[in-house]
Structure 1
Amino acid sequence: MQINAQGINLIKQFEGLRLSAYQDSVGIWTIGYGHTGDEVHAGMVITAAQAAQLLLQDLSHFETGVSELVSVPLNSNQFSALVSFSYNVGLEDLGASTLLRLLNEQNYVGAAQQFPCWDHAGNQVLPGLLRRRMAEQALFLQAV
């Protein structure tokens, strides 16, 4: 599966586009639409086209990861919400989450209820993260 347009727009909305590298709320160097990696460093600058390309490369990794972790059928919106979620928190955290455990037990409603629990970064509640989790939850629950 691939992330749908709603999922991409959700990521773009919450990540924002930054063409100069910056440190996120927990000190990780980030650029573009939330791209991180060893190559991102202070003073790095990219173009909007490069940011779009990095996003597509990153999404491919997260699409594969979500596909490997989830063992139950998903519709396009559910898959896209999970790609957005894992893009933000990481595939390892998704893999160890109650959200994934409930989902793989076919408890779709219980899984959806877990999204708002992921509103912390650096041991702090971040209102922006809660807004993102609520948007991901809404997309997950939205019929296709």
Structure 2
Amino acid sequence: MGRKTRLAGTAGAAAIALVGMWEGLRLTAYRDIVGVPTVCYGETLGVKIGDKHTKVECDAMLLASLQKHEAGMRKCLKDPDGIPERSYVAFVSLTYNIGVGAFCKSTARKRLDAGNLRGACDAATWYNRAGGRKIPGLVKRRSAEHKLCLEGVK
């Protein structure tokens, strides 16, 4: 059985920095691009418009949510510990953004399980839409994740 988490040390710091940079920090709840109540670094679970948090609370929520998404991602992968660290961080960021269910059904996950890391990195870039529209910010995020992901390709 593999490790329960790889989000410790440099991988954890990299995941927090990557996701935090793309999600941004909002201490008061707002409606995201498709109207979902959102707060902190993109948290949506149980959020109501008007909710407020401190940066310390948001940082703790982000770490807990990253670990939750990582655990879900690991469950649907054949060999999560075989993924190079930088690629792994990119896939955690993707999973955080699109959700565990979408990641587990994705071509990226299928390609990872088939041992095709480059193909998995490429497939992850397809998640650049919200509300049926291509979103420039998601295109940029996927591009940054793709670059990081490819650092693990030999």
- TM-score between the two structures when normalised by the length of structure 2: 0.88
In the alignment, does 2:139 pair up with 1:117?
Answer: no
User: How many positions carry a matched residue from both structures?
Assistant: 143
Tell me, yes or no, if the aligned pair for 1:22 and 1:42 is still in contact at 8 Å. yes
Q: Secondary structure at the match of 1:20?
A: strand
| Structure 1 unaligned blocks of 5 or more | none
Alignment partner of 1:58: what SS?
Answer: helix
Q: Which amino acid aligns with 1:41?
A: K
Residue number among 19, 37, 61 corresponding to 1:29 in the alignment: 37
Please tell me whether residue 65 in structure 1 is matched to residue 69 in structure 2. Answer: no
The ranges of structure 1 where at least 4 consecutive aligned residues each deviate by more than 2 angstroms after the TM superposition are none
Report the secondary structure of 1:35's partner residue: coil
Contact 1:7-1:77 within 8 A present in 2 as well:
no
Q: 5+ unaligned residues in a row in structure 2: which ranges?
A: none
1:58 deviates by 0.5
- Cα displacement (A) at 1:6: 2.1
Task: Quote the offset at 1:143 in angstroms.
Answer: 4.0
1:60-99 aligned within 5 A: 60-72=67-79, 73-99=82-108
Corresponding residue for residue 148 of structure 2: 139
Q: TM-score with structure 1 length normalisation? A: 0.94
Secondary structure, in 3 states, of the residue corresponding to 2:64? helix
Distance 1:64 1:78 in 2: 16
CA distance in 2, matches of 1:82, 1:143: 12
Deviations 1:25-84 (A, max 9, x none): 11111111111112x111111100110111111011011112112213112112111110
Shift of 1:100: 0.7
Question: What SS does structure 1 have at the residue aligned with 2:101?
Answer: helix
Secondary structure of 1:86's counterpart equals helix
Report the aligned-residue RMSD: 1.4
CA contact (8 A) 2:16 2:62 kept: no
Equivalent-residue separation in structure 2 for 1:143 and 1:104 (angstroms)? 15
Contact map agreement 1:115 1:134 (CA 8 A) in 2? no
Identity of aligned residues (%): 34
**1:107 is matched with which residue?**
116
Q: Distance in 2 between matches of 1:70 and 1:17?
A: 30
Q: Which has the higher contact order (CA 8 A, sep 6+)?
A: 1
